[in-house]
């Protein structure tokens, strides 16, 4: 894996509405996230591009990927409105989520070649 295969970006999320903004390489994706499961140790969520900006998943939206995060961290350490950074391997689509200096989650973009 060469360093050119890694792209860094930022994320902004609103825990009340589930709104999500992903920014990287002068691109911005507006969407939302929705939890599939919230377990004792780990929670899993889908990342969805909200193509028609209605805030709900429908036939116009694209599922970009999913992530898992430590439940304890997202319920006690993240504020309701939060922002952080991520880095993604453009070859594999795998990414890491950070809030401040803490890595709290990992994920996978399904079609990384189309996104990056």
Per residue, what are the HEC states of 39-71?
CCCEEEEEEEECCCCCCCCCCCCEEEEEEEEEH
Report phi then psi at 111, rounded to 5: -120, 65
Report whether pLDDT(3) > 70: no
Report whether pLDDT(116) > 90: no
Report whether pLDDT(1) > 60: no
What's the mean pLDDT when you consider all of the chain?
91
Q: How confident is the model at residue 2 (pLDDT cuts 50, 70, 90)?
A: low
Q: What is d(CA 14, CA 32) in angstroms, rounded to the nearest whole number?
A: 9
């Amino acid at each position: 894996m060469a360093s050119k295969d890694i792209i860094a970006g930022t994320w902004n999320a609103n825990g009340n509405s589930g709104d999500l903004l992903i920014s990287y390489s002068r691109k911005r994706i507006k969407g939302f996230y929705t939890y599939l499961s919230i377990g004792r140790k780990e929670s899993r969520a889908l990342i969805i591009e909200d193509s028609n900006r209605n805030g709900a998943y429908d036939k116009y939206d694209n599922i970009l990927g999913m992530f898992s995060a430590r439940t304890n961290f997202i319920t006690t350490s993240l504020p309701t409105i939060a922002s952080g950074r991520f880095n993604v391997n453009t070859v594999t689509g795998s990414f890491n989520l950070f809030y401040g200096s803490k890595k709290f989650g990992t994920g996978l973009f399904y079609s990384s070649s189309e996104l990056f």
